Amino acid sequence: MTQFGTWVSFGGDAKIELAIVLLGAAGGVTYAGARLKLPLQPARPRQAAIVFMLSAWVLALVAFLVCFAIYAQKTIQQYPGHRGPGEPILPVTLIAAGLTFAAIFITSPHNAGTRLASSVIGAIAAPMIFELPFDLIVMARIYPPILPDPAAYRTLFFLPLFFVEITTLWLLTLSPMVKLSRGTFFCFAAMLAVFAAWSLDGFAYPSTPLPATLNVLSKLLAFATALSLFLPQRAKGTAQNPAPAKTLMQA
């Protein structure tokens, strides 16, 4: 196990067990994608639900910022000489978010307002597809520990962060473009499979080429998962039976 970075890597049987769990999850998601009747569009929220959703999202962001400030202050107090590592994958995340925004905006058949809102939602939700399972994996291993109760401070940091991630993913239901497709399931399963390969290397911090490559690849698959939600889906039977559609338009 290594303690470079912001979490302690896995070692011994732990990394094998993690890989098995992740491969099992990837297989389950793949099976669901193959068996479910897709594409499937989530139910659109009503006005009251939208207000509640946006309020919950804003409150989650505020709570996380406050808790993060407390956590950072305690870290500085207890480890005054400790400097956290850089964020080597951040440029990839920002570039992928920009490309996702552009791809959704260009492919959307809706009006400008809907296209813009959908593009923003897709760009901010995509990293959360990666971060939610990632944080579940590393939350118990973050480094350095904050005394006197490392578990309590981990909860202080991660609990509001999970609310941010979940409420951000919930925003996807606001877009009329979003549909679950087989590509969505398969891309997410591929991300979990890369996580499994990464775990065999201890799920180490991306400070060396192999974990950095696996980190980047899994993050790009998360963005591909998000993008698959917004790609236009061709309705079955449209090409084979155009006359009824024309009649409906005339009516």
pLDDT tens digits, one per residue of 202-216: 999 998 899 999 999
User: Residue 187 pLDDT more than 50?
Assistant: yes
Query: Mean pLDDT across the stretch 228-234?
Result: 83
Q: Who wins on pLDDT, 6 or 50?
A: 50
Average pLDDT over residues 152-163: 96
Query: Looking at residue 84, what is its pLDDT?
Result: 65
b/e map 48-76, b = 16+ CB within 10 Å: eeeeebeeebeebeeebeebeeebeeebe
As a whole number, mean pLDDT of residues 218-241 equals 78
Q: Residue 242 above 90 pLDDT? A: no
Q: How far is CA 121 from CA 6, 134, 171, in A?
A: 28, 20, 7
Residue 82 falls in which region: left (phi positive, over 0), alpha (psi -120 to 50) or beta: beta
Among 136, 122, 114, which Cα is nearest to 222's?
A: 122
> Looking at the predicted structure, is the pLDDT value of residue 66 above 70?
yes
Radius of gyration of the chain (CA): 21
**pLDDT at residue 5 in the model:** 60
Q: CB burial class (10 A; 0-12, 13-18, 19+) of residue 145?
A: middle
pLDDT digits (tens, 9 = 90+) for 91-137: 999 999 999 999 999 988 888 999 999 999 999 999 999 999 999 99
Contacts of 244 (CB under 8 A, 6+ apart): none
Q: Which amino acid is at 78?
A: Q
pLDDT tops 50 at residue 224: yes
pLDDT band at 159 (very low <50, low <70, confident <90, very high): very high
Are the C-beta atoms of residues 133 and 62 closer than 8 Å to each other?
no
pTM above 0.85, yes or no: yes
Phi, psi of 40 (to 5 degrees): -130, 125
Over residues 136-140, the mean pLDDT reads 95
pLDDT in tens, 68-103: 999 999 998 998 876 666 778 899 999 999 999 999
Residue 241 has pLDDT above 50, yes or no: no
